[in-house]
Amino acid sequence: MFVLAYDFAAETRMMNRQRKPKDRLLQEILHLCEQLAELRARELASHPSRDIFFADQQRCMDVIEFLPDATFIVDGNGKVIAWNRAMEELTGVSKKDVLGKGKFEYSIPFYGKARPILIDYALAKEPGVDHYYDFVQKDANTIMAEVFAPRMRGGRGAYLWGKASPLRDREGRIVGAIESIRDITEWKQAEESLKKNEEQFRTLVETMNEGLSVQDEHGNIVYANDKLCEMMGYQREEVIGLPETTFFDEENRVILAKHREKRLQNLKSSYEIELLRRDGTRLPAIISGTPIFDARGSLRGTIATVTDITLQKRVESELRESEGKYRAIFENSPLGILHFDCHGIVTDCNAKLLEILGSEKTRVLGLNLLTSLRDKKMKTAVSACVRGKTASYEGSYLPVEGGRISYIKAEYGPIVSKDGEVLGGIAVLEDITQRKETLEALRLSEQRWTLLSSQLLATQEQERKELARSLQEAVGGPLEKAVSGLEELLAREKNAGKRKLLEETHLAVRGAFGGVNAVIEDLRPPLLDEQGLLAAVQRLCDQVREKRPSILVEARMDPREPNIPALLKIVIYRVLREALSDVLDLSKAQRVRVAVQEADSILKVTVRDDGLGFDPKEVLRKESGKRPPGLRKMKDWVELSGGSFTIESGPDRDTEICARWLLPGLSDLAGTHPVSSFPRTNGAP
């Protein structure tokens, strides 16, 4: 920017140099015209002298005619006696139309009206020249001025420069005047453009966010913008004239001296340095200096910009601190961390990764993951990462360079620049071998638990079945015979006293018989063994209708009963009996739906009612006093049989109790195999 301003100044000087030869020519013409005036004074002399006079006059007129500048001459009365070709071209007025004219008529082509112009002031007839002209310069013999002539250039107007001088005879009397006029419109426009550019340059320099200074060839400051003064804590008038070394301590002056040597070699330079502010504090900065040489190749000075990098330094410090923290996390992470570039080549890794892989850092760094990995899934994950996508991998892993096989989980993420370019990626690896082994052990334990639970349940049901049979044989059968015998005696007995005793005995024995049957029903419902699960479930629904006619009971049962193991039938029966009992006792339901369904090898039993509802998590907690009777027993029965048990409910919502079992293997339920592979749940939905 400084060089640009410098070039405009050079152009102005060039224009002034071009003007000087023309001014010298004008002086010579002026001298010739004065000789002409002197010869005119001798007009009454002898004829040979007249011939000489007219010859000189003609020679003078010929010279004026071909002057490059528009020129005209008036005599002592202000009448035009010469109007050259350049004047005709400038004004568009021919000499025949203006020669002999006076009374300021020669000003009409310029201003559209008759008025005094510069030549009239040269005749000393109009003293108020400053009134009409923008710029006036006078000396003993000439007067120069600049003015805007509105009639020029077809009415567009033009800027004119004029120079006028009086013509004197030998005695010094003014006998006329001469004026040369030059169209300086383009020069004025260039000057205005120069001023505008200089203003723009100055505005830009003064508002720029960097400090700017100009030093002369000795290193003294000749210019400093406001930003630099603000940065250094000085007023501008205090800075001008100071040597630039004022702002450097001894250590930084050495750096400055090296770069001044570069300036002498016409080399630009940029360097980081610390400057001294006025208050003694230090300012980290970057200085960019450009030398200025004149046409002869001599150093005339330097223009330099000063950039405050305090914030940059603070950010760099924070970045170093952040990098230190990251490095500490990186090195001490319990997970393996791997860095690789956009080509998949490993650039860094931490100690944990080497431990997981069982390898050394020298063997891992430089490894190309895209070409060296044996596992195709892991290679695919790395490839996706270098394309800017996240990826993951889980499985067994054998390192390329050898080592133990481990089971790892890896997450891959790309490292992307601000403009979206993928710079590389980072992988976080976790050795989950121990976890997998633990999960496998847990799975085997679960299987053993399920097996034991199934065996326990089968044993319990077998004991219940045997107990029910024993009660039926030892108590139920005899009581049934006793009831029949008493009924026969009552039919034959006529004595009222004996009949009353027999009725009381019959009632007691019948009550005992009913109680024994209820116990047998609880231990092992005979209907289940005699007619099957579907008939037993239908009987449970009928019992609800009998006890509560207002409840609408809907039943749907569509499984193939031969597919259901005998042990599972009793579990389903007990779950449904407890669920329907809770509906009667607690829910205040108006509608109940019971379903036993089989689909995709899944046996599903559901009981849904539109009662009051409850919080499943709350009622299933062991310490809760709000647990509905039978709910915990249902959950235990289902899970002991290898199924899953869920409850969906809530205050003022429908309640659905659901039990599921996987059918394959259920035929072996009474044997030694687990019932199901469903996960165990806590009963929450």
Q: What does the DSSP assignment read for 254-308?
A: HHHHHHHHHHHTT--EEEEEEEEPTTS-EEEEEEEEEEEE-TTS-EEEEEEEEEE
Domain assignment present for 325: no
Domain boundary among 431, 458, 474: 431
The distance between the two most distant Cα atoms of the chain, rounded to a whole number of Å, is 206
Domain that holds residue 294: 208-313
How far apart (Å, rounded) are the C-alpha atoms in residues 680 and 673?
17
- In order of 256, 362, 660, the CA distances from 657 in angstroms are 87, 61, 10
In a domain, 201, yes or no: no
Integer-rounded Cα radius of gyration of the chain: 59
**Are 605 and 484 within one domain?**
no
Q: Distance between CA 328 and CA 319 in Å, rounded?
A: 14
Q: What is the mean pLDDT, run by run of 10 residues, along the chain of 685 residues? A: 35 46 53 55 46 56 81 90 90 90 89 88 70 78 88 87 87 87 87 78 77 90 91 91 91 89 87 91 92 86 91 86 82 88 93 84 89 86 92 78 72 90 91 81 72 68 72 75 81 82 82 76 75 86 88 84 79 87 82 88 90 79 54 82 87 88 55 35 33
Which pLDDT does position 493 carry in this prediction?
81
Q: Give the angle 179-181-185 at the CA atoms, nearest 5°.
A: 160
Looking at residue 383, its pLDDT comes to: 92
pTM (whole model) above 0.75: no
Q: Which CATH number goes with the domain that contains 238?
A: 3.30.450.20
Last residue of a domain, one of 313, 344, 378: 313
Q: Which amino acid is at 613?
A: G
Is residue 119 domain-shared with residue 186, that is, in the same domain?
yes
Domain boundary pick from 283, 313, 343: 313
Helix (H) or strand (E) holding 395: strand 391-397
Domain shared by 169 and 228, yes or no: no
The conformation of residue 45, written as its DSSP 8-state character, comes to S
| Cβ 124 vs Cβ 134: under 8 Å | no
- CA separation for the pair 479, 481 (Å, rounded): 5
- Is 606 part of a structural domain of the chain? yes
Q: 222 and 370 in one domain? A: no
Cβ atoms of 147 and 132 closer than 8 Å: yes
326 within some domain: no
Cα 611–Cα 616–Cα 617 angle in degrees, nearest 5: 160
Note whether 608 and 568 are same-domain residues.
Answer: yes
| 390 and 461 share one domain | no
Domain count, the chain: 5
- Does a structural domain hold residue 323? no
Per the listing, tokens 């830009």 go with 204
Q: Would you say 67 and 22 are in contact if contact means Cβ atoms under 8 Å apart?
A: no
